[in-house]
Amino acid sequence: AEYHSVGEVVCKVIWLRLILEELGIPQEKVTTMYVENEGVLKLFHNLVFYERTNHIDVQVHFICEHVLKQNIQLQFFPTTEQREDIFTNSLA
């Protein structure tokens, strides 16, 4: 489910980048997205797929394509370093 969330955000980021381009604001820099799941991050940086990941190929290929085009950069950001997470963890 984590990869699906990243996929939705990537779609929105690409859409926003296209809108900004149409408004005359060039998108020369890479958009950085922070991901807290290392498994998801490895999936998007590894173009080798296994049997268990066959059902997510289309979305993963879409994200990998934009990572390779350098529209999107995915970086790991551990949960322990997310300050706002301390407020939501106490509610669980």
Could you report the per-residue pLDDT of 33-44, keeping only the tens digit for each?
888 888 878 777
Pick the more confident residue, 10 or 52. 10
Q: What is the pLDDT of residue 57?
A: 65
Question: Taking all residues of the chain, what is their mean pLDDT, rounded to a whole number?
Answer: 79
Predicted TM-score (pTM) of the model is 0.69
Percent of the chain scored above 90 by pLDDT? 23
Residue 22 CA to residue 59 CA, distance in Å, equals 25
Residue 82 is inside which H or E element, if any? none
The ranges assigned to domains in the chain are 2-78
